[in-house]
Amino acid sequence: MTSNPNSVHSNNSVNSVENAPLLEVRGLKMHFPIRRGFLQRTVGHVRAVDDVNFFIQPGETLALVGESGCGKTTTARCILRALDPTAGEVLFRTDDGRAVNLAAIPRKQLRPWRQHMQMIFQDPYASLNPRMTLADIVGEPLLVNGMRDRQARNDRVAELLRLVGLRPEYMQRYPHAFSGGQRQRIGVARALALNPSLVVADEAVSALDVSVQAQILNLLMELQERLGLTYLFVAHDLSVVKHISDRIAVMYVGKIVELAPTRRVFSVPKHPYTEALLSAVPIPNPRVHSQRILLEGDVADPSKPPPGCYFHPRCRYAVERCRIEPPPLVEVESGHYAACHRATELTLRGVMGRETGQN
């Protein structure tokens, strides 16, 4: 466990406004109680998020990756205060340069902050109300935030629809008339309605077909350039993550095990879990046969994690120390953090620069 929550951003926690991160997460914990029996006594805790630290610079895309149950979505939901974290700080930089700890603000006083952070959901079929027209769906956040005039609202909706590549004439239609990709564009338009600075995309392209997935990824990158958006991109698909993110945080059983610029994660991973994860991604090229690292056993149970490093029972490099002492997330090289006792001595295999045989 990181004793010093500032270790992740030691170089960057300078208080000058231009260098300041837009979002900084310190020691974030989300423990869900397990209740049993007639009295619903708490018999344990699921440590869904267990001491997570990271920051995001304005205009940057940080990806949170990991397998199901690793706590990436819970982390995102804590930041947006859809959940109330057990411990930790979520520092959000306002326009005037102040940092506000969102984790400490009472729920009722959150509304002014909520418009600065918006979410794009995974399932474009389930996340749009089938009984509302596009004008209502995209215009709802505007109405809630005080734009009472229907004409003004519709003008803004038309502008937003154009922004995401949909025709404003579609405004009076219902979601069922649109394909999956178009629906996801509607979801993006709604998220952008209030000019947020931070957009959290939770598996935003996972439910889409590949040909449409590429369109949405490109749209997200275009919008980022045009509007200066900052993204927290939660995903499990490493190939997708690679195309969109500047930095990647890899999570395993509620903890960040590695955090580094995208290129470094893929070329010189420093954590054995990252290495195994990279090697498991199938490559769309029949001439390349990746030397796969097959992980033994299952992911650790977040309510009864093993002692020491949570990954040690599946790690092929594990030594005695890994079974006893939990490794802290430390800066191995400049900007490259890993939570592994052997991070500096191991040479792990990445996937970039690998001979692909493709022209």
Partner 1 sequence: MEPILTVDNLKTYFFQSEGTVKAVDGASFEVYPGQTLGLVGESGCGKSITARSILRLVDKPGRIVDGSIQYYPANGGQALELTELPSDGATMREIRGKDIALIFQEPMTSFSAHYSVGNQIMEAIRIHDRGLSQQAARARAVDLLRKTGVPMAEQRLDMYSFQLSGGLRQRVMIAMALACTPRILIADEPTTALDVTTQAQILALLKDLQRSFGMAIILITHDMGVIAEMADEVAVMYLGRVVERGPVDQIFHAPRHPYTRALLRSIPSIDGEPRTKLPTIRGSIPHPYSRPQGCPFHPRCLERIAGVCDQHEPALARMADGQAVACFLHHREEIRQN
Q: What is the contact surface with partner 1 in residues (CB under 8 A)?
A: 67-68, 179-182, 209-215, 217-218, 221, 236-240, 242-246, 262-263, 266, 276-289, 292, 294-295, 297-298, 351-352, 354, 356, 358
What tokens does 122 get? 């995974």
Query: By C-beta, is 193 or 240 nearer to partner 1?
Result: 240
Query: By C-beta, is 114 or 243 nearer to partner 1?
Result: 243
Which residues have a Cβ under 8 Å from the Cβ of 136 and sit 6 or more positions away? none
Residue with tokens 């449409």: 212
Query: By C-beta, is 39 or 210 nearer to partner 1?
Result: 210
Query: By C-beta, is 116 or 312 nearer to partner 1?
Result: 312
Residue type, 338: A
What tokens does 349 get? 């295999």
- Give the Å distances, CA to CA, from 8 to 24, 259, 335, 336: 10, 9, 9, 9
Residue with tokens 């190939």: 239
Q: In this structure, are residues 120 and 188 in contact, taking their beta carbons and an 8 Å threshold?
A: yes
Supply the minimum distance, in Å, between the C-beta of residue 75 and partner 1: 17
Question: CA-to-CA distance for 359 and 44, rounded, in angstroms?
Answer: 54
Per DSSP, the residues of 194-258 read T--SEEEEESTTTTS-HHHHHHHHHHHHHHHHHHT-EEEEEES-HHHHHHH-SEEEEEETTEEEE
Question: 233 in the Ramachandran plot: left (φ > 0), alpha (ψ -120 to 50) or beta?
Answer: beta
E-assigned strands of 107-224? 117-120, 198-202
Q: In this structure, are residues 8 and 329 in contact, taking their beta carbons and an 8 Å threshold?
A: yes
Q: In this structure, are residues 104 and 89 in contact, taking their beta carbons and an 8 Å threshold?
A: yes
What tokens does 277 get? 């994860």
Supply the minimum distance, in Å, between the C-beta of residue 207 and partner 1: 9
Query: By C-beta, is 209 or 325 nearer to partner 1?
Result: 209
Question: CA-to-CA distance for 141 and 204, rounded, in angstroms?
Answer: 19
